Amino acid sequence: MNATLIPNRSRDVQVAEIGVNTLILRSRTWERLKFEIEYSRQRGTTANSFLIQADKKVLIDPPGESFTEIFLEQIAQHIDLTTLDYIVLGHVNPNRRATLKELLSLAPQVTLICSRPAANALKTAFPEWESHIQAVRSQDTLDLGQGHQLSFITVPTPRWADGLCTYDSATKILYTDKFFGAHICEDTLFDEDWKALDAERKYYFECLHAPQTKQVEVALDKLTVLGAKCYAPAHGPVVRYSLSRFTYDYRQWCQGQKSQELSVALLYASAYGNTAILANAIAQGLIENGINVESINCELTEPAEITRIVEACDGFIIGSPTLGGHAPTQVQTALGIVLSSAAKTKLAGVFGSYGWSGEAIDLLENKLKDANYRLGFETIRVRFSPTPFVLQQCQDAGASFAQNLKKTKKLRTSRQVVTETHVDRTEQAVGRIIGSLSVVTTRDRDHHKGILTSWISQATFNPPGIMIAIAQEQNADLMCHPGDKFVLNILKEGRNVRRYFSRQSSLGENPFAHLPTQTADNGCLILTEALAYLECTVQNQLQCGDRYLIYAVVDKGEVLEHEGVTAIEHRKSGSQY
């Protein structure tokens, strides 16, 4: 974070002409406006509004409530509000509603123009405004006279589902709302010195757009065909001198994100914005640590798309508010998809905002733990709105999740790194089959034996049955005949129990002397440090090549540890263990 000297100036509204019949009203603050991560460079910001006065008069994007009073004072000097025809909203948030309320009381004749999702949100919050609200779609137009033909372009993203840009053909100004902005407050209106803006622009992109690059690219495709000569964003300088360079930067930054080696799916829903703020802070911690984040607003994303992202990601983090004692239905649906389609080796995380009981967060955490996912940070529970301290914690959690993910990845790839030059290609390919590392324990009266194997798989659902391939030299005659009993101990990753049973073991004949055990109902030993165990009875034996295939039915079993994942044997070649 960058602490910059803050000039001691009070808030004001700077007004200037930026095109024919077109004023900009920049509500300015030199201080950090809010504690959200995007303002942390502390260069102040501007909330830009625009007034086009042709035959019809339109105000685009009035500011949030931090500026309501000074903005209304200033705009009254440039227009009689009783003559205002339209207010166009690039997005709606609770903060902007305060100014809207005032405007509607001063200009009761006005029509509010916004996207359909914004119209729905406004109608729910203010049913009394219903007759004022007009929803528009892409390619809808509004003729203000004197050549000012406005076209609307919907640009939904996970963060602003209701995003709407507006293009004026008379001035060739594109009103880009959350695109192409920067949080910086200066007297300079335009971007003459655009090189000096690079750091602020990049930071703004990383905070707002890096977790939603896919949707940003779609928006760029829609916006660039318009041939605008000027971008008028919601924050920071108007873009006149660096328009093509800035557009190119956005493309490059999107590409940069997508080409990161590791990616995290960040799934959430947020009815009142608090969980979304937490999600943004976590995303920032991940992005700063070189992770590609794919934000999924569960309320806007189709199940098939969620499945695709969750299957492709290296880790996932899921967040929810608690409403009426539950997680919203869309979060429950997303959780179901995660549980059925995310590999258990993927790193997971849980967060959420709640008011008093927080059941949704408990539900998410318990379900993921029960399903054996490993959590990359301690679950984040936040009452109502987060404080700056909590946001820093979220950012730190994102950073430690990223580090955890990199460590896990390194472990897996280093195991799979192969000095492959001398190994036959077919053997290399066969060697990519992996199995759960397990110890089979058998018993001959008072004598117990343990055999390390990873040549194992589930063979049947009904009855639950497994298949093990055993070599002659493994001396496994006690588990080869129908009716023989054994216990399959499935080992846990990171706990080196295998060393007691490897052929090179220096621990002598009785590995069980060094390990805690219990006796199973079938008389064989359970390794209590295993992740889970299965008591089995052999049903069939088949001699194939240099192995016996043993099919056994599972009589009973138990998970011994709900945390942790199964140890897996990675091999260089299919010609050896």
Residues forming the site for ligand FMN (CB under 6 A): 270-275, 321-325, 353-358, 384
247 - beta bridge partners? none
Q: Which is nearer to ligand FMN, 182 or 391 (CB)?
A: 391
Q: Which is nearer to ligand FMN, 250 or 268 (CB)?
A: 268
Q: Which is nearer to ligand FMN, 325 or 463 (CB)?
A: 325
Among candidate residues 159, 170, 162, the one with its CA nearest the CA of residue 133: 162
Q: Which is nearer to ligand FMN, 322 or 332 (CB)?
A: 322
Query: What Cα–Cα distance (Å) separates residue 312 from each residue in 331, 409, 417, 442, 515?
Result: 19, 14, 22, 40, 39
| Strand pairing category for 133-136 and 111-115 | parallel
Q: Which is nearer to ligand FMN, 277 or 452 (CB)?
A: 277
CA dihedral 306, 312, 313, 315 (to 10 degrees): 90
Q: Which is nearer to ligand FMN, 273 or 435 (CB)?
A: 273
**Least distance (Å) between residue 55 CB and ligand FMN:** 42
**Least distance (Å) between residue 270 CB and ligand FMN:** 3
**Least distance (Å) between residue 353 CB and ligand FMN:** 4
Query: What Cα–Cα distance (Å) separates residue 555 from each residue in 239, 457, 526, 558?
Result: 71, 16, 14, 11
- Chain centroid to Cα 519, Å, comes to 45
Peptide bond into 303 cis (omega under 30): no
Q: Which is nearer to ligand FMN, 290 or 355 (CB)?
A: 355
**Least distance (Å) between residue 319 CB and ligand FMN:** 8
**Least distance (Å) between residue 271 CB and ligand FMN:** 3
Q: Is 162 exposed, middle or buried (0-12, 13-18, 19+ CB in 10 A)?
A: buried
* Residue nearest ligand FMN, Cβ-based: 355
- Chain centroid to Cα 503, Å, comes to 44
CA distance 85 to 56: 6
- Stretch (H or E) spanning 427: helix 425-430
541: phi then psi, degrees, rounded to nearest 5? -135, 140
Long-range contacts of residues 458-461, Cβ cutoff 8 Å, at least 24 apart: 459/551, 460/551, 460/553
CA distance 379 to 358: 12
**Least distance (Å) between residue 310 CB and ligand FMN:** 21
Q: Which is nearer to ligand FMN, 271 or 430 (CB)?
A: 271
**DSSP letter string, 394-407:** HHHHHHHHHHHHHH
**Least distance (Å) between residue 243 CB and ligand FMN:** 36
Q: Which is nearer to ligand FMN, 44 or 321 (CB)?
A: 321
Q: Which is nearer to ligand FMN, 58 or 363 (CB)?
A: 363
**Least distance (Å) between residue 523 CB and ligand FMN:** 50
**Least distance (Å) between residue 303 CB and ligand FMN:** 21
**Least distance (Å) between residue 275 CB and ligand FMN:** 3
Q: Which residues of 365-505 form beta strands (DSSP E)? A: 374-375, 380-383, 435-436, 438-444, 447-453, 456-460, 465-471, 485-490
Spatial neighbors of 92 by CB under 8 A, at least 6 apart, are 114, 118, 121, 122, 162
